[in-house]
Amino acid sequence: MKLIEKIYLGISSIYYWLLLKVIYQNRVKMHVFNSIRGKFRVELMRESSLFIGEFLMSRGPLYLKCTENAQLYIGDNVFCNHNCSITCAEKIKIGNNCMIANNVVIVDHDHVIKECGSTSELTCEEIEIGNSVWIGANVTITKGVHIGDGAVIGANSVVVHDVEAHSVVAGVPTKKVK
């Protein structure tokens, strides 16, 4: 990597850190130096919080949203490829050393559906993603899912059930492959 590019990434990282500190103050805990490229959008509603461990690497755009009273935790050395979206209404925890491919959506809630159709009311369940998990391209992870350490989620999958540690799953909905 050229020196100028490293300097640019350093300045960009400091800019995002300062911006989030000014807007959200101590509701955001994040290291100053990360590798954030492309768009990086954070939206925290009232009483929500965001923790980002050491060295988040993002190829952008990356969208992080927490509704009221929600908690989003992203561990150390996490990589997010292009166009990832994490929306938290209760609690989402992503462990250390995770790799998240492009177009991944992680959402810990659904809208309540009644006879008249979907409502603005939400039903929520915590999502926990273990350490060293690899999430393939175009994956959707739904509410209440726990993914064990070292698991691999195949591309184009929809995760609606827990995933065992060190297993490989794929499909819609996911099934154990290995």
Interatomic CA distance for residues 8 and 161, integer angstroms: 41
**Helical (H) or strand (E) element with 121:** strand 117-124
Omega into 61 within 30° of 0, i.e. cis? yes
CB 158 within 8 A of CB 174: yes
Interatomic CA distance for residues 162 and 39, integer angstroms: 31
Contacts (Cβ under 8 Å, ≥6 apart) of 4: none
For strands 175-176 and 168-170, give the pairing: antiparallel
Interatomic CA distance for residues 39 and 99, integer angstroms: 18
Residue 111 bears catalytic tag: yes
**Helical (H) or strand (E) element with 71:** strand 71-74
Interatomic CA distance for residues 112 and 117, integer angstroms: 9
Q: Annotated catalytic residue: which of 111, 146, 161, 166?
A: 111
Positions annotated as catalytic residues are: 111
